[in-house]
């Protein structure tokens, strides 16, 4: 595993076992029984169910301490005759408990469940077991101050959530936190089912995500993560090449800081969901897999006034069998309300006719002569000159080439919103281009 590919993954190498200094022992309270354990460190009081061994918060005095340090709890409980230590945090175990800035779980307490740590107004950091499993939705949701989660034995880094390899999926709404800017980086080296619905939705400060591999993405996974700039998959040079499904919609909607290409050319998913990349205004390129069969409403929408860069969109197969298309609906396919096209869409040359037929109201191909093709400098590389076909100059075409490189051109759409289909020689790009 090449940890050095990501600067924050160094933490997995640290493995520094921190000495426990000055931690108060946990002892039974006066009303504790072996059937209903209740222990205290002198301030915090916790209890657990002996049948499922799921602990929950009972009380504390924030004027005494805001740190719930349970690092010695398992050993302290096991040292008292008749008791056995908890192994999980109960659903809603700490939910909405304010006045707690830090929670340190025992290493032997490995289970985190639904809403275990949700809606804690003051929570900033959590130390978890190195064998943690997250088994329920909204485990850490709605915590605007939460910045750091670290397994036992790993050095903490402020702003980094480090999930051990035992966390193989990120559940529904796991870290969703409206307008949170505290959480900056996520390392989830075991997660392949990545993005249980809205798992990082509205984490405004999230910048990078590091995983081993990504197999599945889900609805709203990174919606409104406006600072997100990078996803790193340590097992692949291209983090998106192993994706087999993208469920739901709006997974990367409003990721307005993302400036890298999205390369799905080697992926095998079949559907590009509704508003999948809506508002990702700085993405220069999308490469979509040959397996694509469904291209949904506003999948690549970005209002023209907000589009920051000219965009290139590559399809590697025939037209999807389902494309959201309505001739009078501005939301069809890729939305670009403008008379100044800024998106260039590439399709394989062998599917040029199929793509032409898939779009309504297409015109007639204009052929390039054999004498053009016979020129010594033909084909040539792309150059910054205007296309001239059938005696007309198209000054607004974003990808400008020599006339001799153009095999044909067709127009469709309305006068106010033109769409151009330009076919290239195979030796130039091996692709055809739709200009929109």
Do 281 and 305 meet the contact criterion of CB atoms below 8 Å apart? no
Please provide residue 232's backbone torsions phi and psi, each rounded to the nearest 5 degrees: -115, 125
pLDDT in tens, 375-385: 554 433 333 32
Query: 249, 296 in Cβ contact below 8 A?
Result: yes
Confidence class for position 325, pLDDT limits 50, 70, 90: very low
Length of the chain: 436
Which H helix or E strand runs over 370?
A: helix 370-373
With a pLDDT cut of 90, the percent of the chain lying above it is: 36
Of the candidate ranges 12-16, 117-121, 145-149, 308-312, the one whose mean pLDDT is the lowest: 12-16
> Could you count the other beta carbons within 10 Å of the beta carbon of residue 381?
10
pLDDT at residue 242, rounded to an integer: 83
Residue 296, pLDDT score: 79
> Torsion over CA of 303, 305, 308 and 313, rounded to 10 degrees?
40
Q: Which is more confident, 123 or 427?
A: 123
Q: How far are the Cα atoms of 230, 241, 254, 354, 411 from residue 282, in angstroms, in the given order?
A: 13, 21, 10, 30, 27
Calpha distance 326→298 (Å, rounded): 12
pLDDT band at 307 (very low <50, low <70, confident <90, very high): low
Instruction: Report residue 1's pLDDT band, with 50, 70 and 90 as the boundaries.
Output: very low
Of 74-78, 219-223, 318-322, highest mean pLDDT: 74-78
Report pLDDT digits (tens) over 253-283.
Answer: 888 899 988 888 888 989 888 888 888 888 8
The reported pLDDT for the residue numbered 136 is 83
Asked if the model's pLDDT at residue 68 lies above 70, the reply is: yes
- In the numeric block, which tokens belong to residue 418? 């033109």
Question: Nearest 5 degrees, angle CA 74-CA 76-CA 80?
Answer: 110
161-175 average pLDDT score: 89
Quote the tokens at residue 416. Answer: 């106010």
- pLDDT at position 24 is 85
The predicted pLDDT at position 26 comes to: 97
Provide the whole-model pTM: 0.73
Min mean pLDDT across 296-305, 363-372, 389-398 is at: 389-398
Identify which of 70-79, 245-254, 404-413 has the greatest average pLDDT: 70-79
User: For residues 273 and 162, which has the higher predicted lDDT (pLDDT)?
Assistant: 162
| Residue 316: half-sphere exposure toward Cβ, Cα within 13 Å | 15
pLDDT interval class at 303 (50, 70, 90): low
- Listed by start position, the domains of the chain span 17-153, 340-436
- Count CB neighbours of 326 within 10 A: 11
Residue for token digits 């290239």? Answer: 424
pLDDT of 428 > 60? The answer is: no
pLDDT (average), residues 241-249: 78
The predicted structure's pLDDT at residue 33: 95
Q: Is the pLDDT of residue 288 over 50?
A: yes
pLDDT number for residue 316 = 82
Which three-class secondary structure string do you get for 171-185?
CCCCCCCCCCCCCCE
- If you average pLDDT over residues 14-26, what whole number do you get? 56
The predicted-structure confidence for 395-408, as pLDDT tens digits, reads as follows 333 333 444 444 44
Q: CATH: 3.80.10, 3.10.620, 3.40.50, 1.10.287. Which one for 17-153? A: 3.80.10
User: What percent of the chain is predicted at pLDDT more than 70?
Assistant: 67
pLDDT higher for 85 or 296?
85
- Looking at the predicted structure, is the pLDDT value of residue 338 above 90? no
Instruction: Compute the mean pLDDT over every residue in the chain, rounded to the nearest whole number.
Output: 75
- Least confident stretch, 246-250, 347-351, 391-395: 391-395
């Amino acid at each position: 595993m090449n940890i050095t590919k990501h600067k924050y993954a160094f933490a997995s190498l640290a493995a520094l076992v921190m000495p426990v200094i000055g931690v108060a022992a946990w002892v039974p309270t006066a009303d504790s029984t072996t059937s209903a354990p209740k222990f205290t460190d002198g301030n915090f009081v916790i209890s657990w169910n002996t049948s499922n061994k799921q602990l929950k918060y009972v009380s504390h005095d924030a004027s005494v301490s805001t740190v719930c340090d349970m690092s010695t709890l398992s050993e302290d409980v096991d040292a008292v005759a008749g008791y056995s230590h908890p192994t999980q945090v109960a659903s809603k175990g700490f939910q909405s408990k304010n006045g707690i800035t830090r929670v340190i779980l025992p290493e032997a307490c490995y289970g985190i469940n639904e809403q275990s740590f949700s809606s804690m107004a003051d929570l900033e950091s959590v130390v978890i077991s190195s064998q943690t499993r997250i088994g329920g939705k909204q485990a850490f949701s709605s915590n605007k101050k939460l910045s750091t989660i670290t397994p036992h034995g790993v050095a903490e880094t402020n702003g980094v959530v480090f999930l051990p390899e035992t966390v193989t999926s990120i559940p529904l709404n796991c870290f969703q936190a409206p307008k949170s800017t505290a959480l900056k980086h996520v390392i989830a080296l075991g997660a392949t089912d990545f993005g249980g619905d809205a798992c990082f939705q509205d984490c405004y400060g999230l910048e990078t995500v590091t995983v081993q591999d990504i197999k599945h993405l889900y609805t709203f996974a990174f919606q409104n993560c406006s600072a997100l700039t990078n996803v790193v998959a340590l097992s692949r040079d291209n983090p998106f090449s192993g994706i087999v499904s993208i469920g739901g919609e709006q997974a990367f909607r409003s990721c307005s800081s993302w400036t890298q290409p999205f390369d799905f050319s080697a992926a095998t998913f079949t559907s590009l969901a509704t508003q999948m990349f809506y508002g990702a205004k700085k993405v220069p390129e999308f490469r979509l897999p040959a397996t694509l069969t469904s291209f949904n409403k506003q999948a690549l929408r970005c209002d023209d006034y907000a589009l920051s860069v000219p965009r290139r969109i590559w399809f590697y197969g025939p037209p999807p069998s389902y494309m959201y298309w309505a001739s009078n609906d501005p939301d069809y396919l890729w939305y670009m309300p403008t008379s100044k096209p800024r998106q260039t869409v590439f399709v394989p040359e062998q599917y040029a006719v199929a793509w032409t037929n898939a779009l309504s109201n297409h015109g007639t191909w204009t052929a390039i002569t054999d004498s053009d093709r016979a020129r010594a400098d033909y084909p040539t590389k792309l150059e910054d000159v205007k296309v001239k076909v059938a005696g007309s100059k198209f000054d607004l075409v974003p990808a400008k080439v020599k006339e001799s490189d153009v095999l044909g051109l067709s127009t469709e759409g309305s006068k106010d919103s033109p769409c151009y289909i330009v076919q290239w020689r195979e030796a130039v790009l091996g692709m055809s281009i739709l200009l929109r």
